[in-house]
Amino acid sequence: MSSVPERSEVDEEYTWDLESIYATDDDWEAAYEAVAERVDELAAYEGQVTDDAETLRDVLELRDEIMREVSTVAAYARMRRDEDTTNQQYQALTARAQSLGADAQSAASFIDPEIQELTREEFDAMVDEVPALETYDHYVDDVLRMKPHTRSAEVEELLADLSEVTGATGEVYNMLANADMAFPTVEYPDSEARSASDESSGGEPRDGEAVEITQSNFVNLLKRPDREFRRTVHEEYYDEWSAMRNTVASAYKNSVKADVKTARARNYDTAREAALDGPNVPVDVYDTLVETVHDNIDKLHRHAELKERALGVDDLQMWDVYMPLTGDEGPDVEYDQATEYVVESLAPLGEEYQSRVAEGLESNWVDVYENEGKQAGAYSGGTYDTQPFILMNYQDDISSMYTLAHELGHSMHSELTKKEQPFVYSSYEIFVAEVASTVNEALLTSHLLETVDDPEFKKHVLNEFLERVRSTLYRQTLFAEFEHGTHRLEEEGEPLTADRLDELYRGLKEDYYEPAVVDDRIAREWMRIPHFYRAFYVYQYATGISAALAIVDNVLPDGAGGDRNADAADDYLEFLRRGSREYPLELLRIAGVDMSSSGPIDRALETYGRRLEEMEALME
């Protein structure tokens, strides 16, 4: 039987370098104790924050110093845990770090309410007196903007103290999905299949050999040519989730309740309004996304119909949706080859950007392969005071190569931001973060279509583009509709039972995938989506890809092979360097994109339609 390797069996060349943060766990412990003691220093300023300009400067700088240290302590613990989510030691360290973070937020909770006692004119006078406060100009503007939704110091402290509790359902879900759930094994048909997870450990299953379904390889298994095998994977996987149906429904219900109650505590009418007001994104942007996608839903239906024809089936089933239009899972792209392609593709952004990515890939930024117990999926981590770190579960395929490019976009955004901005503006909003990651994907597509000679490889690249738009723009908008629907039901007092959640999700799948058969199991797909425990997050993937495609069109106005627009590239890099010094829509205008309109979304979907036509012609 094929198996996922233990952590100790993975070559260190393909693991991240967490020792660059703390050489040993004892060093982490010392850092934890040191910053835990400093948290209490903030209390001395309570009631005095705006007494004079010097005090305001001192308290803001102290808070930033403490939060910097807390974020590094927390990042190390989390990443150690994510190496093997079953490791009790690092579960404990992560829990302690989360408590420390909550304590630090609680200790600093009086600062914003006290600043909100200032007028804008009073703050400007303080800047004249202490010019160092100019650094905090945008931060103070944001704090004053939020005054109607900030409670008294006592209530803010209570909300901060409760953050561990209100966020607990996500942690429960994470442990259930990644540590406690055990998925069944399935038998490979004939000699068609080769598990990407086995490739990472050097093994290849023989005919009829079994492979364990995991969170990381599930989608890859649904790309296997044997249709009956895909059906088995689909049914076995969702049947395992079905056994946890009431538990997951209870966790998600309480997550939604926490969102709604927290929003009401802050004087918002809805949880969605509260979530979008944080980064100062108008609710109209969310609604415009949904409306524009629905106006273009016919293109997704064309994609589904094309897939049905490509597979030669009478009815497209949910276990067919991930199958490539090319009919198989595509060529192998080993990790080292992927890094070459990705670095080469970034040339339009300039030599400095490109060389920094190459250097990072040689410096153990990336934890490459899946191992037993490892956190599923991928993310870019690290802090203001560390190098970037990228968690991958690389599967030696085109999709994994694109994920690598995606996460490197996040990492370079952080690198450029922390090089140019103070800590207070280093944690940019997700709304703009997903632009950086998707620009890298779009540049990779352009590069591969222009430079790779193999026509079959180009077909797979084109298929990857179509799938990325389907799964990022359409699928994430579907998720956004589901989140809006669940929170609206809770706000209207309707119980969020497992049956009701299935019903809501199924209706959306039927709208989006009208040409396909929507079965009972896919109605429970909502159970496997971890992003739902961070409400109103996923829509930003859809707006992000829309903005990214517009930016790449600006940088490469003549498409792949044409001269780059150096001014547009410089505008984009300036956008990355700004961090969160401006509000998201203002930042994107620096990069030449107006996300307050439907224009970038329409443009992205027009490109999707053109690519569909190209694929239809190739398949004929």
CA distance 489 to 501: 10
- Break the chain down into helix, strand, coil percent, rounded to 5: 65, 5, 30
Three-state SS at 246 = helix
Instruction: Give the number of other CB atoms < 10 A from CB of residue 493.
Output: 6
CA distance 338 to 457: 13
Q: Which amino acid is at 20?
A: S
Q: Which amino acid is at 496?
A: L
Exactly one of 407, 434, 441, 582 is catalytic; name it: 407
Active-site annotation holds for 362:
no
The string of DSSP codes covering 36-100 is HHHHGGGGGGTTTTTSSHHHHHHHHHHHHHHHHHHHHHHHHHHHHHHH-TT-HHHHHHHHHHHHH
CA distance 222 to 434: 26
**DSSP secondary structure code for residue 593 in this structure:** -
- Strand partners for 172: none
Token digits for 493? Answer: 């007092």
> How many residues are listed for the chain in this entry?
620
Q: Are strands 366-367 and 316-317 parallel, antiparallel or unpaired?
A: unpaired
Q: What are phi and psi of 185, to 5 degrees?
A: -100, 155
**DSSP secondary structure code for residue 380 in this structure:** E
Q: Which amino acid is at 87?
A: N
How far is residue 24 from each of residues 33, 89, 154, 446, measured CA to CA in Å?
15, 13, 38, 43
Token digits for 59? Answer: 């308290």
Q: Closest Cα partner for 459 from 616, 304, 347, 319? A: 616
Q: Closest Cα partner for 111 from 158, 42, 159? A: 42
Q: Where are the alpha helices (DSSP H) in 382-535?
A: 398-420, 430-451, 455-469, 475-491, 498-512
Q: Which amino acid is at 475?
A: R
Three-state SS at 391 = strand
- Strand partners for 210: 187
Token digits for 367? Answer: 């934890």
Q: Are strands 185-187 and 210-212 parallel, antiparallel or unpaired?
A: antiparallel
Mind telling me the catalytic residues?
407
